């Protein structure tokens, strides 16, 4: 498994945020995902009513994580965390079909690499978000996938475009 420090400040390309609402978007063209307050760019909406200070770190196109054979690992778009209360991983999609299983695999892979390098138990709340702008609402057919994800990763899997941060 790849050795990587997900908390290395070299991967933190933007300042921590304490906005009550902000967005996450993938600009494409092999660029890392970013946060923004420009609502026209939102792919995922982070609702943070208690204004917790959150650090977003892009994983895909930011961390050079390779498989043993040298190929680039297929990771999720980013992670968000605070001071040991909240940890989440986010995968952004803009697809009509076949996106859910692809997003879940990218999240599982990233969480597996994280778990090989860090203790997720240091955080009280663990979430993974599969976001698709073409399918913004939760689909009940994902219930079994969500339950299996929790067993496999110890993270709560959520589908939809809203990321609610509250604790």
49-99 per-position pLDDT tens digit: 999 999 999 999 999 999 989 899 999 999 999 998 999 999 999 988 889
pLDDT 10s digits, 22-34:
999 999 999 999 9
Confidence at residue 103, expressed as pLDDT on a 0 to 100 scale: 96
Q: How deeply is 84 buried, as exposed, middle or buried, from its count of CB atoms within 10 A (0-12, 13-18, 19+)?
A: exposed
Percent of the chain exceeding pLDDT 90 equals: 84
Nearest to 21 by CA among 159, 157, 163, 124: 163
Total count of domains within the chain: 1
Is 135 inside a domain boundary? yes
pLDDT 10s digits, 7-20:
999 999 999 999 99
Residue 95 belongs to a domain with what CATH number? 3.40.91
Query: Six-digit token pair at 59?
Result: 């994983």
Range of the domain at 84: 13-164
Please provide the DSSP assignment of 84-120 as one string: SSEEEEEEEE--SSSHHHHHHHHHHHHHHHHHHHS-G
Is 157 inside a domain boundary? yes
Is 133 inside a domain boundary? yes
pLDDT level of residue 135 (50, 70, 90 thresholds): confident
Is 3 inside a domain boundary? no
Report the distance separating Cα 156 and Cα 88, nearest Å.
9
Query: Six-digit token pair at 87?
Result: 């940890």
Confidence at residue 140, expressed as pLDDT on a 0 to 100 scale: 63
E strand or H helix at 131: strand 125-132
Task: Give the residue, 2 or 52, on which the prediction is more confident.
Answer: 52
Is 2 inside a domain boundary? no
Instruction: Compute the mean pLDDT over every residue in the chain, rounded to the nearest whole number.
Output: 94
Report the distance separating Cα 84 and Cα 136, nearest Å.
29
Is 143 inside a domain boundary? yes
């Amino acid at each position: 498994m790849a050795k990587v420090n997900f908390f290395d400040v070299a991967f933190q390309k933007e300042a921590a945020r304490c906005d009550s609402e902000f967005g996450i978007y993938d600009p494409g063209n092999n660029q890392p995902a970013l946060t923004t307050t420009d609502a026209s760019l939102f792919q995922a909406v982070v609702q943070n009513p208690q204004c917790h200070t959150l650090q977003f770190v892009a994983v895909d196109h930011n961390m050079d994580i390779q498989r043993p054979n040298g190929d680039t690992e297929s990771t999720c778009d980013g992670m968000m965390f605070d001071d040991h209360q909240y940890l989440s991983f986010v995968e952004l999609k803009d697809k009509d079909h076949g996106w859910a299983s692809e997003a879940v695999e990218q999240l599982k892979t990233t969480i597996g690499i994280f778990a090989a390098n860090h203790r997720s138990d240091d955080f009280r709340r663990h979430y993974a978000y599969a976001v698709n702008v073409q399918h913004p609402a939760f689909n009940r057919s994902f219930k079994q996938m969500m339950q299996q994800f929790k067993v496999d990763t110890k993270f709560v899997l959520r589908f939809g475009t809203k990321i609610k941060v509250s604790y």
